[in-house]
Copies of this chain bind each other. A is one copy, B any other.
């Protein structure tokens, strides 16, 4: 542990740079993040920062993975802290609260993808972890309410082929972008989730419920965060709560 000082200092300035970048993101959007400006704000010249980040994209990537991790942890924490009966609501509200507290970071991961940027493998892993948390919360709602209606969303239209290499083949056929390694990774993680939920068939009811939960919550959160509700004369949080209720009722 001799030269640990160097590394500590290095990590420290990296962290500082990311903090400044986050501030720039908050006030000027993704495109407002400038390596030069960050360096200047830190009291050094532009090219110096390239000793710490290979490129602007690498900095953005790190910002994104950090954000993913933060959100995933927040959600998991909310679920862990809540009583089993409240887990679903706790998860949903934690998601919205987090997004409203830092809209730019929400848009950073769920907004328009950065031009040349392609998500690194770590992202898929963390995203899968988040899906796991949502699954957990969804299965918790079953405990408190009972699985009521439940149309299977996964296997209607010649739907989700059984286990095994499911996602691999299926995705390659209809997916807009080619199947990358990270996506295969995510698929593996999701299969793990499928088999992890007791008594849950791949593509079954619970998966559909989790998917709907994800898309519906994202629907109101993303529109809200982007200000699309502005001037419409209603409280987005009321709409959000209504969606939670609908989901709990088993829609």
User: A205-231 interface mask toward B, CB cutoff 8 Å, 1 = contact, 0 = none?
Assistant: 001100110111111101100111111
* A54 interfacial contact with B, CB 8 Å: no
A4-25 interface with B by 8 A CB criterion:
none
B241 touches A177 (CB 8 A): no
CA distance A116 to B112 in the complex (A): 15
Q: A134: shortest Cβ distance to chain B, in Å? A: 12
Q: A246: shortest Cβ distance to chain B, in Å? A: 5
Nearest residue (CB) in B for A186 is B231
Known contacts A153-B239, A231-B179, A245-B151: A112-B215 contact under CB 8 Å: no
A103-141 interface with B by 8 A CB criterion:
103, 107, 110-116, 124
Known contacts A112-B30, A112-B112, A242-B151: A190-B232 contact under CB 8 Å: yes
B156 touches A238 (CB 8 A): yes
Q: Which residues of B contact A86 (CB under 8 A)?
A: none
The 14 listed contacts between A and B (C-beta, < 8 Å) are: A113-B226, A157-B241, A160-B234, A160-B235, A167-B231, A170-B235, A176-B227, A177-B230, A179-B230, A187-B233, A203-B234, A215-B216, A215-B243, A218-B219
Q: Which residues of B contact A187 (CB under 8 A)?
A: 231-233
CA distance A31 to B234 in the complex (A): 33
Nearest residue (CB) in B for A109 is B228
* A199 interfacial contact with B, CB 8 Å: no
- 15 other contacts beyond A170-B234, A171-B232, A179-B231, with CB at 8 A cut-off? A30-B112, A32-B115, A110-B228, A111-B111, A156-B241, A159-B234, A159-B238, A166-B233, A170-B233, A186-B230, A187-B233, A190-B231, A212-B239, A212-B246, A216-B216
